Amino acid sequence: MSDIEWNEKTFSKFAYLSDPRISRDGRLVAYVLTKANMNDNRYDNTVVIEELGTGVRRFIENASMPRFSPDGTKLTFIRPNEEKKLAELWLVDLRSMSAKKVLEVKNVRNVEWNDDSRRLLVTGFKRRDDEDFIFEDDVPVWFDNMGFFDGEKTTFWVLDTESEEILEQFEKPRFSSAVWHGDGIVINVPHREGSKLAFFKFYDILLWEDGNEEKLFERVSFEAVDSNGKAILLRGKPEKKKLSEHDFLYLYEDELKPLTERFVYNNGMARLDENGSVYFTMAKEGSVNLYMLDGEELTPIAEGEHWVMGFDVSADGRVVLLKETATRLRELYLWDGDLKQITDYNGPIFARLKTFEPRHFRFKSLDLELDGWYIKPELKEGEKAPVIVFVHGGPKGMYGHYFKYEMQMMASKGYYVVFVNPRGSNGYDEDFALRVLERTGLEDFQDILNGVEKFFELEPTANRERVGITGISYGGFMTNWALTQSDLFKAGISENGISYWLTSYAFSDIGLWFDKEVIGDDPLNNENYRKLSPLFYVENVKAPILLIHSLEDYRCPLDQSVMFYHALRDLGKEAYIAIFRRGAHGHSIRGSPRHRAKRYKLFVEFFERKLKKYEEGFDVEEILKGSE
């Protein structure tokens, strides 16, 4: 059996698991299995239903979003109808595995069963959809991965699965969400302040029952994420001054009870079981761990050097979860007091594919002690290796113990890979996350440089004369910034990054609140919008740069890379730009299979030519030959 090599198409050999679910009786699990189909240039999704006791599996092809009924006899799933451009909601009887279509609508965002195992709460949205023009009277006009809003309203349907009739239908402003609460529905509605909605910062929380509406909370910074019919689980804070503040969990029955503030770290996914126990993820120093809180007692379910990427809980406290490490993609695990691995889809692939374990180090940077990691390639005696510095997104992103395809690929090709969590990162206390605000590119960039210097102390076989830098989003901004502020880097690949904060504020889907927090208020007059923008320092750039961007990115829109590219070329700098015609901000992992293969090929070959061969130019026709 021959070994598998890392290249631009290796990702297509992996199986990707998502959306894990467990039946209320803990007998069945379901999840979505995704494979990249290179021939047809698409992703094939299959819902897998597995009996935990016997290991028997059943498969539903071309399906996603599995949801078990509380009585465990039924499961719903979503199937796209490409011809009609509609989403079909199907119900399957798990005893006979026969299925029927129960709803056909244009857009579905979530489905949730009522405790009666008969009614469904379906969340979707409606737009004007005029074929000739888009009209908007609210901001923003668009959102990444969602397109133009065109007067979007969130729509809720209560569907009876027996009669296949919609019992209730109502609309709320865009970005509203809801959960069942007994026979009522708790709705999170973005709070309106003056002429616009206070997106993601403040919500009004309503209880809808039998057509009547009661306001439970007004202008709060948390939202309802789950209910057991008695209590409501809320994630966020009673009131945030900054969106970059941490999210914690609260329980509301007759009064509001804080649950996780004392644990310091940022909370992510959260569930509430029938007995009132709370299950939640917490980002901590490069890991994403899963815990159960029962009263005052905190029980670790999955704690260690890994990321928990999704989970669900049965009525008796069994937990199904997806766990990923730096060298292994996520697989399904079951916790019922002990943690057991259930699936091993990628085991045979990794048995033939060499992976590289990152090495952790701590370093001092200005006033802080920070975490860093590096991957060491295989080296011959006396050989020195080039270095690639990766910068995460955010700034409240986090590096650590999860699988990063590009890092493994570049290590396999003989590069050191270095990555750190500078101030502003997730996984530390809230003050740490807020330190980057209105100072983006200043101390956080020094943290990255200091981490690289510490790495050079640890690894004398790293070649200081051949250092590259790359990143996506905030990492793309930092790549642009690094090449204007330091001569250390001899090549850069900037992906979907920022070069001018003022146009980002006015053009990005989140600019009206994110940029005003990260860069500063009063964008039209605040000097930070120029001072912290790489565009105004392009004359300092000495290293070649490849800018990669996607046309449908509304988070960091295309103008950011085009402006930087034009200004660089106008000054005679070595710069190249690759614009993918399709794909939102996350196109690097959600683009079509061939799109991703071409991107990986560009990534590898640019660093090969600039850090190893020191070649002039970048002949894309030659490089992409054979990538179709």
Q: What is the pLDDT of residue 198?
A: 61
In a domain, 329, yes or no: yes
Tell me the H-state helices in 175-270: none
Strands annotated E in 376-501 = 385-391, 416-420, 462-472, 491-495
Q: What is the pLDDT of residue 195?
A: 61
Residue 626 has pLDDT above 60, yes or no: no
Interval 247-266 mean pLDDT: 96
In a domain, 312, yes or no: yes
Give residue-wise pLDDT tens across range 341-368. Answer: 999 999 999 999 999 999 999 999 999 9
Interval 474-492 mean pLDDT: 98
Give residue-wise pLDDT tens across range 130-182. Answer: 899 999 888 899 989 988 999 999 999 999 999 999 999 999 999 999 999 99
Closest CA to 7 of 609, 622, 608: 608
User: Can you say how many angstroms the Cα of residue 76 is from the centroid of all Cα atoms in its chain?
Assistant: 25
Strands annotated E in 52-150 = 57-61, 64-68, 74-81, 86-93, 98-105, 108-113, 119-126, 142-143, 147-148
Residue 384 has pLDDT above 90, yes or no: yes
**To 10 degrees, what angle do helices 474-485 and 443-458 make?**
80
Residue 475 has pLDDT above 90, yes or no: yes
Closest CA to 415 of 11, 3, 9, 6: 6
Q: What is the pLDDT of residue 1?
A: 45
- Read off φ and ψ for residue 540, nearest 5 degrees: -80, -15
Q: Which of 300, 324, 355 is the last residue of a domain?
A: 355
Record the pTM.
0.96
Give residue-wise pLDDT tens across range 537-550. Answer: 999 999 999 999 99
Specify whether 290 is located in the same domain as 368.
no
Q: How many CB atoms lie within 10 A of CB 455?
A: 22
Specify whether 401 is located in the same domain as 342.
no
Specify whether 402 is located in the same domain as 494.
yes
Q: Which of 58, 88, 105 is the last residue of a domain?
A: 105
Specify whether 387 is located in the same domain as 457.
yes
Specify whether 453 is located in the same domain as 555.
yes
Give residue-wise pLDDT tens across range 528-538. Answer: 999 999 999 99
Give residue-wise pLDDT tens across range 593-618. Answer: 999 999 999 999 999 999 998 888 99
Give residue-wise pLDDT tens across range 499-523. Answer: 999 999 999 999 999 999 999 999 9
In a domain, 173, yes or no: no
Measured distance CA(64)–CA(7) in Å, rounded: 29
Q: Which of 55, 82, 105 is the last residue of a domain?
A: 105
Q: What is the pLDDT of residue 572?
A: 97
Specify whether 511 is located in the same domain as 562.
yes
Interval 63-76 mean pLDDT: 97
Residue 217 has pLDDT above 80, yes or no: yes
Specify whether 296 is located in the same domain as 408.
no
Closest CA to 20 of 275, 308, 299: 308
Specify whether 450 is located in the same domain as 308.
no
In a domain, 455, yes or no: yes
In a domain, 93, yes or no: yes
In a domain, 336, yes or no: yes
* Residues present in the chain in total: 628
DSSP string covering 591-624: S-HHHHHHHHHHHHHHHIIIIIS--SS--HHHHT
Specify whether 283 is located in the same domain as 315.
yes
In angstroms, what CA-CA distances link 198 with 125, 148, 396, 562?
Answer: 19, 19, 20, 31
Interval 213-218 mean pLDDT: 96
DSSP state at residue 255? S
Give residue-wise pLDDT tens across range 282-339. Answer: 999 999 999 999 999 999 999 999 999 999 999 989 999 999 999 999 999 999 999 9
Give residue-wise pLDDT tens across range 31-51. Answer: 999 999 999 999 999 999 999
Specify whether 346 is located in the same domain as 407.
no
In a domain, 180, yes or no: no
Pairing mode, if any, of strands 545-550 and 575-580?
Answer: parallel
Given phi > 0 = left and psi -120 to 50 = alpha, else beta, which region is 6? beta
Q: Which domain holds residue 270?
A: 231-355
Which of residues 139 and 564 earns the better pLDDT score?
564
Number of structural domains in the chain: 3
Give residue-wise pLDDT tens across range 425-473. Answer: 999 999 999 999 999 999 999 999 999 999 999 999 999 999 999 999 9
Structure tokens belonging to residue 294 = 């029962």
Interval 395-406 mean pLDDT: 97
Residue 395 has pLDDT above 60, yes or no: yes
Which of residues 315 and 628 earns the better pLDDT score?
315
Q: What is the pLDDT of residue 603?
A: 97
Give residue-wise pLDDT tens across range 231-250. Answer: 999 999 999 999 999 999 99
Specify whether 266 is located in the same domain as 317.
yes
pLDDT band at 221 (very low <50, low <70, confident <90, very high): very high
